[in-house]
Amino acid sequence: MRTIQAYRFALDLTSGQERNVLAHAGAARVAHNWALAKVKAVMDQRAAERSYGVQDDLLTPSLSWSLAGLRKAWNHAKGDVAPWWGEVSKEAFNTGLDALARGLKNWADSRNGKRAGKPVGFPRFKSRRRATPSVRFTTGAIRVEPDRKHVVLPRLGRLKLHESARKLARRLDNGTARIMSATVRRDGGRWHVSFTVEVERTERQPAHPSSVVGVDVGIKHLAVLSTGEMVDNPRHLLAAQQRMRVLGRALSRKTGPDRRTGRRASKRWEQAATRLGRAHARVANLRRDGLHKLTTRLAREHGTVVVEDLNVTGMLANRRLARHIADAGFAEIRRQLTYKTEWNGGRLLLADRWYPSSKTCSGCGAVKTKLALHEREYECEACGLVIDRDRNAARNLAALAAEFDTAGSGPVAGRGDDRKTRIRGQVSVKRQPGTASAGQTGTVLPQGRTTIRAFARAH
């Protein structure tokens, strides 16, 4: 199986190498801002000419928003705009122009209805102090040295890695991987290099191909499995909250930048901001490490994993739980399981967003009308079953896999239109184009004769 995979390594740069990387990132920012100003000037000029009644065929020629068009315009003007252009790699300017081309395409597609999700705003100019330094290389000498402790990038030369790149080097030596691009980026006060690699992965099989596990994510426990296992929520952000408060107060006492007056930040403010950024980066790294270990274990052990299609955006509207929900990373768990189950020969099933997994009895199938959030145990009035509500939900999710196998694979259903849609067995909910997610294998929908809107109100 051929797939695209990323390998990310921390770098140990010298002061000279860091200045060189910052120069390349600055060149990318200059090209981006120049091209954006050019695009805005042409758009404003054409709008003004239309207001004067000028015919469309006599308007100022439009500027192509594609990467090729922006690169052509930049090559004609780079001698005047950036006379120092020969001091950095051409890939630096290509990085800024490519980011602008993507931003303009996303904005245009969002306005025309071709892009689903939230509306995308028009691209903005990149600030020298607020933008994240980054540069991407797609051509030239990109390789890992034989000692696996150094990498070679165009114009940047030989850079030392903080850790060994043996995993990537083994694939490159065996001919099962090909480096497509390399991106150098500063994140959390530290420089990283990320390789986009085309990998030929061998066909794998889970340790228990016939095993089905339901995963119910939550705040008290990060994940409750239908097998009875409860994975504790480490709450990394809560553990680091006190230190972040101290660092934030220390930062507020320093002389920071002021865009209104043009005041630049003091050195101590920059040092305090770096310390706070490192604290946030540490929390993000700990969270990422824990989620990767959990999802990798689930994908390698079980042949079928069933999770819920949660409305995380709506859940974040609860101001009392928003911080804890964001710290848990519900959406990241689903994202990682999506590709890891495919890599390991398993499958991922998504329960419909309105399926009452917590309100349904896993013993007899009775559904409660209401179940308050503070009720941590499920008590069935029909059969008398008393069980932890999260474990009950996980069992219900695992039971849906049998219904999915009976009905066959189906599309991933979204929220649906405002029109009432009856559900008889397993069917597709009428939805707008673009709401189906690529890569998922299917969705199990709630059973019974009801409507999506009525089902949401009742449960």
208 CB-contact burial (10 Å; exposed 0-12 / middle 13-18 / buried 19+): middle
Q: Are the C-beta atoms of 233 and 220 separated by less than 8 Å?
A: yes
Residue 61's CB is within 10 A of a number of other CB atoms, namely 7
Write down the pLDDT at residue 451.
Answer: 33
Q: What's the rounded Cα separation, in Å, for the pair 291 and 7?
A: 17
Which of 91, 98, 216, 327 is the catalytic position?
A: 216
- The verdict on whether 216 is a catalytic residue reads yes
Write down the pLDDT at residue 298.
Answer: 96
Q: CATH: 3.30.420, 2.30.30, 3.90.920, 3.30.460. Which one for 209-233+277-458?
A: 3.30.420
Q: What's the rounded Cα separation, in Å, for the pair 96 and 439?
A: 30
Residue 177: what are its φ and ψ, rounded to 5°?
-145, 150
Length of the chain: 459
Q: What's the rounded Cα separation, in Å, for the pair 205 and 388?
A: 32
Residue 183: what are its φ and ψ, rounded to 5°?
-120, 125
Which sequence spans correspond to the domains of the chain? 2-15+133-200, 26-112, 209-233+277-458
Write down the pLDDT at residue 174.
Answer: 93
Q: What's the rounded Cα separation, in Å, for the pair 448 and 423?
A: 6
- The verdict on whether 327 is a catalytic residue reads no
Per-residue pLDDT of the chain (459 residues; tens, 9 = 90+): 899 999 999 999 999 999 999 999 999 999 999 999 999 999 999 999 999 988 888 888 999 999 999 999 999 999 999 999 999 999 999 999 999 999 999 999 999 999 988 899 999 999 988 899 999 999 999 999 999 999 999 999 999 999 999 999 999 999 999 999 999 999 888 999 999 999 999 989 999 999 999 999 999 999 999 998 999 999 999 999 999 999 999 999 999 999 889 899 999 999 999 999 999 999 999 999 999 999 999 999 999 999 998 888 888 998 888 999 999 999 999 999 999 999 999 999 999 888 888 999 988 888 988 888 888 888 888 888 899 999 999 999 999 888 877 666 543 333 333 333 333 333 333 333 333 333 344 444 444 333 333 333 333
Which of 308, 309, 342, 352 is the catalytic position?
A: 308
Residue 12's CB is within 10 A of a number of other CB atoms, namely 14
The model carries a pTM of: 0.81
Write down the pLDDT at residue 408.
Answer: 60
Bridge partner list, 305: 213, 348
- The verdict on whether 308 is a catalytic residue reads yes
Which of 91, 98, 352, 390 is the catalytic position?
A: 390
